Structure formats: structure tokens, C-alpha cells
Structure 1
Amino acid sequence: MTGSATATTLAAGGPVSHDTSDEPRKEGSRQQTSVRQRKRRRGGKTSWCHGGGRCGGQERLDKALASFLSWQQSAEERLLSLEEARLERELQAEERREQREERRAEQERQHELRLFSMLTGVLLAVREGTQTTTQSDPATSPLARFSASLMTTPAPSAPSSSSQPPPEAPTTESIFNQETKKSQLTSGIINMGTSENKLCYDLLHKRLTKPDMLHINPSLLQYSDWRGHAFLREAVAKFLTHYCCSPNPLKADNVGIMIKKYAILIPTPFYGVIIEDLHLYSDVKLFHVPLDCEVGRHNPSYLQHFAFEMDVFGLTIRGVILMNPHNPLAEIYSLKEMITFLEFAKRNALHAIVDEVYMLTVFDESVTFQSVLSADSLPDPQRTHVMWGMSKDFAMAGIRIGTLYTENRDLVEALAKLGSFHGVPGTTQHQVAQLLQDKEWINEEFLPENRRRLKAACSYMTGELLSMGIPFLDRPATLYVWADLRKYLQESSFEEELSLWKCFLRHKVLLSCGQAFCCSVPGWFRIVFADQQHHLQLGQYQQHSQCLLARLFMPSQQFTHSLF
């Protein structure tokens, strides 16, 4: 029964082979196929999927490779462009360096040429000066006549060697010869506008090179009282006491304001730099009081009138500025007149700032300058402040030292706080103190000779102005004359005045026009005579002095006949 069932089952399932020898062979074939697939995967020859999957993976790989190659190409292009830009910058920098070197070499050549031209001019001046001295007749030579009037002084019968200038000290005539040649250069300008005294360099050179000036000690090289060293303030106090004829000794401690809507009265014309000086530390306004240039006299009633007008403008007057001798009028005011102004200031509770920087620059023996410090008593000492400096009276514009004397202790303390911005070197203070203490040199050598030379120079200048019919204020003080050139203006306007000033400048002559001094009337000019360059008519020995000066003063061709 069992055998028949088995036969039935086999019959239903089909023929069954009982031979199992092929099974190990099939298993080995499957293992070999798996090994080959793993090798292919390791070698990147197949993908995880068959057919379409394998193709999609290859495309992604190709795209990634193409993207990488594109990025690499763009990066290389950027690197190349950056390298090209760097090379271009280096090339431009090299070109600029070469251009700078060329300009520097050209400037050096031009500088050498200028030095050579100046040296040649000096040598020619010395040679011509020697020839003029040896060949020309002093009685007929304009240069000799003026040099004699300007430089000669009665010589002692037996001059000592100590009274003579050192051999290396340049004389005024040698300086004049050099300046003459420089003025003949195409770019040379005759400066008759800057108020400097250039007539006494030889006197100053002799004094400033003496042994007592060459002194150094530690205190001169250290910080000091910003008001100035005590020895200098003491020297200034004694100097002002003596030359201002003060009835009482001035105090060394007194040697050394305002807010918006405050103002100061000042007569016009006036020294124009005062405007800058006031605006340096404050917002003080200047209220002008016009004067008549032809009369040139301050009048207290004018000041009082304008003081009343200030109330209309809402400004409070706190001070008045007075100059004696005056700049630019060269007017000298008597002590009585100055006291009148100070009394006006006291009545109105004004600070009176008195500028006496030209007090020793008076060259007429018949005229005496009187300082306000010489008064027995000042109307208001606490509001009276006197200024003085070295630049004008001692012909030392390069020595920047100014002084202020006041009895107002509050003002002294306030100015001391500003002194740190205006300190003077200690060695310079020592030299100035030595100079001011040497009254023998000042009284017997410098002042007499300086006044004589200024008088000669002023006489020459005013004589030329008279010969040309040019009106001017004839005053025996300061370093300039106030001349009236209104007849050369086509119309009375400051534009015409400026045009005339520019015409002078085109002719290589520098003057100071009235606008620079806030003059109320156009056409007035300040002409400085205390300069070796004012010898322009003697600068060219072949021409007559008057003709040369007139040519330089000629504003235009239409005035030729009126000037000559």
C-alpha cells in the first residue's frame, strides 16, 4: 500500500531524477559570479543596479567631472588675470619711479642753474661796483651820492680796531649790489609793501656776533615761565622805563578778552593784520571809525559818535585800539592827544590797547615821541595796555618777540596761560636781553645811525614823489609813506584801486593798497622806503633815477605823459 502511494505521487509530479551530482557545480558557479561582480564594483566597472541604473550613475559622474573641469578653467583664468594686473601695476609703479627720478634730476639741474646765475650776478655786481668806485666821479655818480648820504658818518681821528666791523661783516653797499642784481632778474619783484627795516644789517651783525651773545646755560634749554625768562622781563621793564620816560620804574611782573557780541573801536586805516590777531582767540568784532587820510588826526568826538551808534547794532564796546606812531599814516600823536583818547576810554569803561611798536623809529630831531607810559598818571591804569616789539625799532623783523605792559593782574595771568603757544627760545631771550641792556650801543651807535639812514632814505623817496606830483603824508616816522594815487584811478572805486595794484605787480613792484588797511577812500597806497630795494632807480646805473622810478609807478600807457 505504501509502494503504490509513492508511485502515485511520483507520477503526479513528473519524472524525478535522484542524481545529485550537479548541485555542487551550480553552487560554485554562483560563487564565481559573485566574486566577479565584487571585483567589477571595486574597479568601478559596474553599478549597484543593472541596466538603466548603471547608465544614470555614469552620467552623474560625467557631469561632476565636467563641472570640476569648468571650475578649474575659470580659476586658472582668474589667476592669470590677477597675475596680469599685478604685472601691470608693477610696470606702472616702475614708470612712476622713473618719472620721479627724471623730475628730481631736472629740478637739481634747474637748482644748479639758478645758483650759478645768482653767483654770476653777485660776481658781476661786485665787479661793476668796483669799476664804478674806481672809474666814476663821486660828484657825478648817483650811486656814490646816495651811498655817501646813507652810509658815511664822521670818522674819529684814530679809530680803534674794536670800533670797526669784523672783516666778514657785509656792508649795506655790498647788500645793495646783490639786491640790485637780483631785482634785474625776470622773476625779481621789488618789495615796497612789507614794512621791514633793511638799512642796518651791518650794525646788527657787528653787535649780535659779540661774545656776550654766544652764551648757553641749562636754564636756556629747559622749559621756563611762559611769560618769558625773568631776566628778559626785567630788561624790558628797565628798557621801557628809560625810553618811554616813565616817571616811575615799570614792574617786570607786569610785562608779559572777550566774547561774542563784543566789539572794539579802531580808527581806519589801520594795520590789517590786527583783524587776524583778534580772531585768533576770540570772535571780537572791529568797528571802524573812518579818518580823513589828508588830515590824519584822530578826533575823540568821532570815537564817541561811533560808540553811540554801536547800541543800534546790538554790540557792546569793550575796547579801543590806538597806534602811535600810526600805521599806515605815520602820524605821531602828542601826549596830550593820547591822554584825551584815554580819558574817552575811561568815560566809556573801555580797555585802551596802545600800540607803540614804532616809538623809536622817529628820525627828525625836531619831533619828540612821548609814550603814554611817560604820563604822570594814566586816567585808567587797569584798562590801559601798551604793546611794543623788536621788529621795527631794532630792524629785527625775524626776531619774533613782542611785549605787553599792563597793570591789570587778571590780564597778565590770562596771557600767561596762552604763553605756551607763543614761547620764545631761551637763547633768543638771552640775546635780546643783552641787546636791550647795552644802552651805550643803543644810544651812541645804533639809534643815531639808524635814524640818519632812515631820514636819508625817506628824503629820497619823498623827493621822487614830489618830482612826479604825487601827494603824500609827510611824517618823520616809521618806515613808509602814505601816498595818494587817486589821480591814476579811472574812477573812484576799490575795484580800480585793485586794478592799479595788479598793474604795479605786473611791473614787478609790490605795494600795499588801501584796502589792506581798511581805508575808507580808494586810491591810497603805503610805500616802504626802509629797504635797499627802494633804490630801484639806482639799480641800473645807466638810467636816471627819476625816470626809472616813474616807469615803475606807471599804471598804464595812458598815464605816461602825466607821469614824466
Structure 2
Amino acid sequence: MLWGDQTAQYSPYLSRRGNSMRLHQGILQEGYNQYHANKHDENSNPHGIINFGTSENKLCFDLLQKRLMRPDMLHIEPAFLQYPDWKGHSVLQEEVAKFLSDYCRSPKPLKPENVVVMNGCGAVFSALAATLCDSEDAILIPSPFYGVITEDVGLYSTVKLHHVPLYSQPTGSDVRPFQLTVEKLENSLKEAKKEGLNIKALILLNPHNPLGDVYSSEELISFLQFAKMHKLHVIVDEIYMLSVFNETDTFCSVLSLDGLPDPQRTHVMWGVSKEFAMAGIRLGMVYSENGDLVQALDQLGYFHGVPGPTQYQMVQLLRDRDWLNSEFLPENRHRLREAHSFMIEELKKLDIPFLHRSAGFFIWADLSKYLKEKTFAEELSLWRCFLKHKVLLSCGQAFSCVSPGWFRIIFTDRLHKLQLGLSITLIHISVPMLFFKSTQTEISCHGFMVGILKGIVHPKMNVERHRRFLLTFIIWTKNTMEVSGNLRL
């Protein structure tokens, strides 16, 4: 994690907590801020930053625009302009309960009164940390994990995360890379206790961000039984549950399990930002059978409410099963599948190892061969190199990965944007690595031309690779001269 400008002065106007918030900045937030200040747009800002770092679905705007323009979205009743129940309007609670009952395949109908709606899943994480943990308590979380959860649980409540490290190389009984097991949970819990930490909960991401793993029912039950044994709450984030795009893979929701080991300590999160491709509509929710927790969250709902008109529109979307089942969800899965296929084929051409998964908006790829040394400092340098040359990725240390060199690559954008971003990425990992391999700040004309000749006559480079190489080399040359000024002719 980055902690902002370390030279920044302590503000006398803020509390210690306020100063901590002001100076704190994670890697993901740093990249996001730079992207927002300089977004790529083919018309108004063609040299802006292309975003392969923020997990947004940009594939289905046309479908959503058409649906959101229908007349039923424009009708507003007086109740939606007045103060609501802070857990959410009752009609939205009912639709969420029905929706989750159906799409999570719950063995019995879920109860609307167990639904709490807030302005995004980040707010839900923050509220759960505040209500389940005391200050300086800790939560177990397998790493790598979506890095912003650190801020979600820590900025307000100063709750810590204790990592359960997962490794790229399978060990012991593992059958896949980065596999979570009960044994690893047990070992991390013991380590936490030795460190004097009071562990109150376990966070599970299913489907997993950034790995793309989907837990089986057997795995979920074993994790829940572990938590019950140690009297831990389990927070299960299922925000990508409808983004499993391979029809042969099956998502198993915790809510589909018949007879949870400890229902009073099991809480399931979901939101519309991913599945419905509307990250700007801040609406997340949690389902819990723990009435005490629901009451506590109700108190915090005053600070995390969702505007009435937004709640109304979400009611219309969730109850429109014809549109969801016949139009939006099938087409969304189809577009996810196509974009994913394009990206993995490009990674294969570059001989970049990656996890081949079929859930979420991202690919977890190993770029460690492009590091001068396999250190997190070099990983951060590579990340900054991409960002400097207008491609935002997310590096592994932003997800607390224990092995340097892993990057999360978002593929849920239009094809031409993927192609442009990949061409720039290719330039800054392939050309310098293959032809220069130098730490010098200047590149001679002789070395430059030798690089071109080596690329053109390379015996293993087919016609398509020739074309792509020359194109990317030309762009790289232009960027090098304009941005870095380090080409000496």
C-alpha cells in the first residue's frame, strides 16, 4: 500500500484520524485518480489513459440505455421522494429478496426484512466492520484480494485485515494455484492469535476478485464449518455471481446451501455495479438472518442511504425477469465470453502465463518475467511505466499478493479499446525486453536500428506478428521521443 505523500505536513486542522485518512492512498486509488484526471476518449482525448485497472463492465451500455429509457423508469411516486426506512424502501427489500431467492437458488424464499440496502458494497463492508468488530479487531481474508477492502473496513473503524497467504505454486493437497484450504485458514488463525490479534470474522469473495475462482459447495461448507468452530462471522461477497460466463461452470451461492452451519454469523453481500454494468449507481446490499445485526445496520443506514428514485428504478429492473432472462443476462454473458476470449488469445501470443477462469471481469496474469528482479519494488516500477505511457493496470501488491509480478487485467471494454491498450502494453514489455535490455537512460541510433532488424527478420515471427510488431514499434518510438525524450539520434 501507498500512504500518500510522505512529505506532506500533518494538518493542525484535522484529528489524528482525519490526518490518517487525508494521507492514506492505496495503489488502486492512485491509479484511479490519475485515470480520472486524464481519461482516454477517441474524440476529445485520444492520448488519455486507457483503463485496464478498474473493474467496470463497459460492454452493455446500449442494453442498459435502452431499458432505462422506458416509460416505467420515469414514473416516481411521492414515497420515493420522502424519507425511507433506512434499510431501504420495503418494495425494494421485497424485490431483492425475490431476486436473490431465484438467482441464488435458495431452498426457501428469503425474507425481505433480512435485506439491508446501502450506497454500494464498499459502504456495506464498512458498516459490517463497524458492527461486527471493535476498533483494532481483525478479520481473516485470503490474499490476494480486492485491495480496497482494506480501506472499506479500516478508514472509519480501524479494523485490521489478517491475510491468509495463497501461493501461485500449488503445495500439499492443492490442485490449483492460489487455492484456499481449511488448513491455510487454521494456520493463519493460529498466527494471528500469536500476534495478539482478536479475529472476529472471515471474508470470502465468491467469485473471487482478482483470481476469478468460483468455490464449490464442498469448499464453501468446509469454510463455514471452520468459522463456526471458531465462532467467526463469515462475510461472503457475491457481487460477481451473475458474471460466470462459461456455461459449463456453475456458481454456488452460500444462500443455495440447505442448512448453513451457523446462519446467525453468515452474511451475504451483493450489488448492481458489476452484474448490471452500472458502477455509478451506488447500490449494494447484505442479507443476514441475524436480527441484531440488521438493527445495527439500520442505524448506519441513515449515513449510507440510496436516493429514492434510484431505488425505484432498481425495483423496475429486478422485477423485469423477461428482460433479464431473455435479453440482458444472456447477452452480457456472451459479450463477457467474447472479450475474455480475445484477451486470453492475446496473452497466449505473448507467452504470458495467466489463470484461465470464467468469472468476473479480469484475468490474473503473471508478468514477472518482465521484472529486472523479482521484487515488489520492480513490480511497482513496471506498474508506473504502464501508467506513465497511458495504460492503467493493477499490480499484485495492490491485492496483497505474496509473489511479485502478478497483475490484474480488466477485459470488459470495447474491442478497439482493448486492442489499443494491448498495443501500448506490448510496446513497453516486449520491445525494451527483447531488443534493448538496458538500464541506460539513452538508446543509441545503432541499437535502435539493430532492434528493428532483429524484429523484422526473427524466424519465428509470422506475418501477423510482423505487422503488429512494426505498428507497436512505431508507436513506441513516437512515445519515447515525445514522452521520455530519451532517444538519441
Is the TM value for this pair above 0.5? yes
Which residue, out of 168, 179, 198, partners 1:293?
168
1:443 to partner: Cα distance: 0.6
Between stretches 463-472 and 548-557, larger displacement belongs to: 548-557
Which residue, out of 247, 253, 257, partners 1:365?
247
**DSSP-derived class of the 2:280 partner:** coil
Root-mean-square deviation (Å): 1.9
The residue number in structure 2 matching 1:239 is 99
Task: For 1:247, give the aligned amino acid.
Answer: P
Offset from partner CA, 1:233-278 (integer Å, 9 cap, x none): 0000000000000001000000012113421110001011111111
Between stretches 364-373 and 524-533, larger displacement belongs to: 524-533
Spell out the pairing of 1:392-403 with structure 2 (5 A cutoff): 392-403=274-285
The residue number in structure 1 matching 2:152 is 277
1:292 to partner: Cα distance: 1.5
Alpha-carbon distance in 1 for matches of 2:399, 2:416: 21
Spell out the pairing of 1:105-116 with structure 2 (5 A cutoff): none
The residue number in structure 1 matching 2:214 is 332
Matched, 1:439 2:321: yes
Alpha-carbon distance in 1 for matches of 2:320, 2:428: 42
Alpha-carbon distance in 1 for matches of 2:135, 2:305: 27
Alignment check: 8 A CA contact 2:339 2:415 kept: no
Cα gap change, 1:316/1:505 in structure 2, threshold over 3 Å: closer, same or farther? Answer: same
1:532 to partner: Cα distance: 2.1
The residue number in structure 1 matching 2:426 is 550
Between stretches 548-557 and 237-246, larger displacement belongs to: 548-557
The residue number in structure 2 matching 1:424 is 306
Spell out the pairing of 1:18-417 with structure 2 (5 A cutoff): 179-181=41-43, 185-186=46-47, 188-256=48-116, 257-293=132-168, 295-417=177-299
Alpha-carbon distance in 2 for matches of 1:459, 1:202: 21
Task: For 1:437, give the aligned amino acid.
Answer: R
Task: For 2:134, give the aligned amino acid.
Answer: I
Task: For 1:195, give the aligned amino acid.
Answer: S
Task: For 2:115, give the aligned amino acid.
Answer: V
Richer in helix (by share):
1
Alignment check: 8 A CA contact 1:180 1:533 kept: no
**DSSP-derived class of the 1:385 partner:** strand
Alignment check: 8 A CA contact 1:509 1:552 kept: no
Q: So what's the TM-score if we normalise by structure 2?
A: 0.75
Cα gap change, 1:349/1:240 in structure 2, threshold over 3 Å: closer, same or farther? Answer: same
Between stretches 488-497 and 260-269, larger displacement belongs to: 260-269
1:218 to partner: Cα distance: 1.3
**DSSP-derived class of the 1:465 partner:** helix
Cα gap change, 1:331/1:555 in structure 2, threshold over 3 Å: closer, same or farther? Answer: farther
Cα gap change, 1:222/1:482 in structure 2, threshold over 3 Å: closer, same or farther? Answer: same
1:312 to partner: Cα distance: 1.2
* Structure 1 portions without partners, runs of 5+: 1-177, 540-545
1:549 to partner: Cα distance: 5.4
* Structure 2 portions without partners, runs of 5+: 1-39, 117-131, 170-176, 438-450, 459-464, 470-489
Alpha-carbon distance in 2 for matches of 1:310, 1:477: 31
The residue number in structure 2 matching 1:535 is 417
Between stretches 524-533 and 390-399, larger displacement belongs to: 524-533
Cα gap change, 1:422/1:369 in structure 2, threshold over 3 Å: closer, same or farther? Answer: same
Task: For 2:255, give the aligned amino acid.
Answer: L
1:534 to partner: Cα distance: 6.3
Alignment check: 8 A CA contact 1:266 1:286 kept: yes
1:553 to partner: Cα distance: 4.4
Task: For 1:394, give the aligned amino acid.
Answer: F
Offset from partner CA, 1:464-516 (integer Å, 9 cap, x none): 00000000001011001000000000111111001101111122111001111
Which residue, out of 347, 360, 374, partners 1:465?
347
**DSSP-derived class of the 1:413 partner:** helix
How many residues align structurally? Answer: 379
Alpha-carbon distance in 2 for matches of 1:330, 1:182: 34
1:216 to partner: Cα distance: 1.3
1:281 to partner: Cα distance: 3.5
Alpha-carbon distance in 1 for matches of 2:87, 2:431: 48
**DSSP-derived class of the 2:88 partner:** coil
Alpha-carbon distance in 2 for matches of 1:439, 1:263: 40
Alignment check: 8 A CA contact 2:200 2:233 kept: yes
Alpha-carbon distance in 1 for matches of 2:136, 2:425: 47
Alpha-carbon distance in 1 for matches of 2:353, 2:419: 20
Alpha-carbon distance in 2 for matches of 1:555, 1:356: 40
The residue number in structure 2 matching 1:89 is none
Cα gap change, 1:534/1:490 in structure 2, threshold over 3 Å: closer, same or farther? Answer: farther
Alignment check: 8 A CA contact 2:411 2:418 kept: no
Cα gap change, 1:225/1:349 in structure 2, threshold over 3 Å: closer, same or farther? Answer: same
Q: So what's the TM-score if we normalise by structure 1?
A: 0.65
Alpha-carbon distance in 2 for matches of 1:339, 1:516: 29
Alignment check: 8 A CA contact 1:179 1:532 kept: no
Alignment check: 8 A CA contact 1:500 1:555 kept: no
Task: For 1:406, give the aligned amino acid.
Answer: S
Alpha-carbon distance in 2 for matches of 1:260, 1:397: 30
Offset from partner CA, 1:539-564 (integer Å, 9 cap, x none): 9xxxxxx8665225448453686996
Alpha-carbon distance in 2 for matches of 1:466, 1:209: 41
Task: For 2:142, give the aligned amino acid.
Answer: P
Cα gap change, 1:534/1:304 in structure 2, threshold over 3 Å: closer, same or farther? Answer: farther
Alignment check: 8 A CA contact 1:537 1:549 kept: no
Alpha-carbon distance in 1 for matches of 2:44, 2:414: 12
Alpha-carbon distance in 1 for matches of 2:323, 2:160: 42
Alpha-carbon distance in 2 for matches of 1:414, 1:555: 56
**DSSP-derived class of the 1:311 partner:** helix
Specify which structure has the bigger relative contact order, considering alpha-carbon pairs within 8 angstroms and separated by 6 or more residues: 2
**DSSP-derived class of the 2:295 partner:** helix
1:182 to partner: Cα distance: 5.1
Alpha-carbon distance in 1 for matches of 2:155, 2:83: 24
The residue number in structure 2 matching 1:519 is 401
1:315 to partner: Cα distance: 1.3
